[in-house]
Each structure stands twice: as C-alpha cells, then as structure tokens.
Amino acid sequence: MLGGARVFLSFAGDEPKILILRCNCPKMRILGIKSAGCIITMVFPRTCPRHHSHESGTTLPEVLTAVLLLAVFFTSIFELVAVCLHYIDSSKESIAALQLVHDRSEVLRNLAFTDLTSTAFLQSILSSPANGSDFAKKATEVIKLSQYPTANGTTQLTRTGDGIVTINSVATDLGIVLVQVDVSVSWNMTLGGRPRIAQVISVISNGTKK
C-alpha cells in the first residue's frame, strides 16, 4: 500500500513496471494518477556483465619450435624407412645369389663327366646366365674345377654380368674319377656397396646319370 493505493511490481516485460489498482492518495493525484489501472514504467539502470575470455594465444617462437620438432620427426621417419628398404634389397640380393650358385651347380652336376672336364664346353655353358633373374645381370660368376682329392692344377672360368666369359687357367689334369667343382658368385651390396660372395663346393664323380 502506498498512500491508499495498491501498488504491484511487474517484471513481465523487458522493463519493470508498477501497476496501481486503486488510487485515493492525494500525492498520486498530484502526479496525475486518478483512476485504477494506471501503469507506471520504471527504468532501472542495467549493468553489462563482464565476459572473461578463457582463450589463450600461441607465440611465434612456440609455433616455430613445434614446426622444427615436426620436421625433425618426419625426417627421421623417412630416413628409417629408406634404411629398411635398403636392408630388404640386400636380403633379396643374398637370396638371389644363393639361388644363382645352386642353379649353376645343378647345371654342372647334370653334365656328362667328359663335358664337365672340357674347358671349351664349360665356356659355352657359361655364355648363358644360370637363371633369368635380374641379379644375374650384375653378378660375377667364377667356376673352379680341380682333381679330387689331390689337385693337379685348377681350371678357372669367370663370367661377368654382361655375359663375357674368360678362361683364367686350365688344370694339367682333372682325372677321370672325381672332380671338385667350386661355384661362387660375387657382387656389391646395394646397402653401402660392400662386396659379398656366395659359394657352393661339391664333388662330382664319373658315373652314369639316372
């Protein structure tokens, strides 16, 4: 109650309002409020809420440091992958070399004994690679034959990767019973260029092939 007037405060709208239902107060009449249902709008000052920013920035040195770390990391990964690929290539070369000496040994083992001890026949055999692999085109084959168990000189032939066959030496006598055959393959590794060699030694007797 305010001077005989019933006053209600309303917050229904954007601004608070005072509703006077009955007005018998002389003070209110002086203000021009004579009948019920008068509405007085009161404007209250509003305070703007303060917004606190929780966002943080990144300085240029921090960005450059992160970029540098990423560059070092990815460079190390690429180098590791390259080394692994070189090791894989080296393993493939070793397997190809073993296959090459075994294929050449099988060709020589299946020859007649007279053909095996013939230098001219061996030269014609070596004119063709032991197999059709790419490794045979870059490897050097060396074949040595000597009488077994006591050698009387050594017959040696060399075949380069481009197919050139050279007779290095001829044995005085290879005998007619047993002959030792030494087949070796040499090459330079893809990883580091180190020289490698694969070798197979066998003893072949003069007998009937079955």
Reported confidence tier of residue 204, pLDDT bands at 50, 70, 90: very high
Inter-CA distances, 132 with 96, 100, 120, 128, Å: 11, 10, 23, 9
| Residues 207 and 188 sit within 8 Å (Cβ to Cβ) | no
Using one digit for the tens of pLDDT, what is the confidence trace for 169-184?
999 999 999 999 999 9
- DSSP 8-state code for residue 173: B
Reported confidence tier of residue 209, pLDDT bands at 50, 70, 90: low
Using one digit for the tens of pLDDT, what is the confidence trace for 49-105?
555 555 566 688 888 888 999 999 999 998 888 888 888 888 899 999 999 999 999
Helices (H) and strands (E) in the chain, counts: 4, 8
Nearest to 105 by CA among 208, 203, 210, 7: 203
Predicted confidence (pLDDT) at residue 14 exceeds the cutoff of 80: no
pLDDT at position 1: 52
pLDDT at position 189: 87
| Mean pLDDT, residues 26-34 | 46
| Mean pLDDT, residues 184-196 | 89
Predicted confidence (pLDDT) at residue 148 exceeds the cutoff of 50: yes
CA distance 97 to 184: 9
Higher pLDDT, 27 or 107: 107
pLDDT at position 85: 85
The residues spanned by each domain of the chain are: 7-41, 63-205
Nearest to 102 by CA among 4, 160, 184, 193: 184
| Residues 6 and 13 sit within 8 Å (Cβ to Cβ) | no
Pairing of strands 165-169, 155-159: antiparallel
pLDDT at position 121: 96
- Mean pLDDT, rounded, of the chain: 80
Reported confidence tier of residue 208, pLDDT bands at 50, 70, 90: low
pLDDT at position 192: 79
